[in-house]
Every structure is written in C-alpha cells, then in structure tokens.
Amino acid sequence: MKSTLIIEASDRLAWHHRFASTASTAALWGGWLWLWAPLVKTVGQLAHLAPQVPVWGLTLLPAGGPSLPLSLAAIAGTSGTLVAWRKLPRRRAKLESALPVSAYARRFDLREQEIEDARRATVSVVHHHPDGRIAHIECRAPSVDRDRPRV
C-alpha cells in the first residue's frame, strides 16, 4: 500500500468528470503562473537578461497583461484569503443528536452496562453471531509486552 498524503481517486470518476477536473486544474495553474509573469519579467530586466527570455516567458506575457503591482496584489490577496479561511471557526457536530445508550441497547439487543463498559474500555472486541448480529462485547486491557518493540 502506498503511503501518501494525496488521495488520488481519479480512476473512480467518469471520463467527463476526470476531463473537467484535469482541465480546471491546468487552467488554474496557468492563471497562477500568469500572475507571476510580471515579476519574472521585472527580475529579468533588472538582471539585464530581458533579451534572453525563453519562449515560454513570451507566451505568458500577453500584450496588455497585468502590471507588476496588480500581480503582487493578486498573489498577496490570494495568500491572505487562504490564511484567513484557515482561521475561520469550524462547524462542530451537534452532540445532542446522539442517541441514548438505551436506544443502542434495544437496537443491538445488548445490555446497557455492556455498552457502557465497552465505551470506557481501552480495547473492545465485538463478537458476532454467524448471521452478523452482535453476540457480545468483550472488554480487554491492553497487553504490555516490554520485550517486543512497538511498531
């Protein structure tokens, strides 16, 4: 199993959804690079490298493109918006909508004390009947094996 932080599930999308996702990603990256183009051009001019701008640099700079101050303001605004968004309070799930233990006991045909013990236990093992119903819940203490390193 790959250990990565990025979840790639595009193979589960329909072709038109995958195409729209890829096209919008490419367009947004193009817009982001286009915002940086005036800064790259200015740095190139300051270093007297303007005549040696590569072909991709010329295609990123259309006639009448954004000026350097506007690009810097757009980049700072985008970054600032993302930072502000991160600081917004998150919505919390309402806990008052949880069912009482007695409702779970009736639904799963268990004793209330068994459910309470399982909630407090460090390790709980749920045993099932052959048809899938819960037979009982076994509460265990974690085994401490000091000879073996933890994985």
Per-residue pLDDT tens digits for 65-79: 556 677 778 888 888
| Residue % of the chain over a pLDDT of 90 | 7
Each residue's pLDDT tens digit, 100-138: 889 989 988 899 999 898 888 888 899 998 998 888 899
Average pLDDT over residues 21-25: 89
Q: Which of 64, 29, 57 has the alpha carbon at shortest distance from 42?
A: 57
Mark out the alpha helices in the chain (DSSP H runs). Answer: 15-46, 55-60, 68-87, 101-108, 112-120
Asked which of 47-51, 80-84, 86-90 is least confident by mean pLDDT, the reply is 47-51
Q: How confident is the model at residue 92 (pLDDT cuts 50, 70, 90)?
A: low
* CA-wise closest residue to 74 among 86, 66, 85: 66
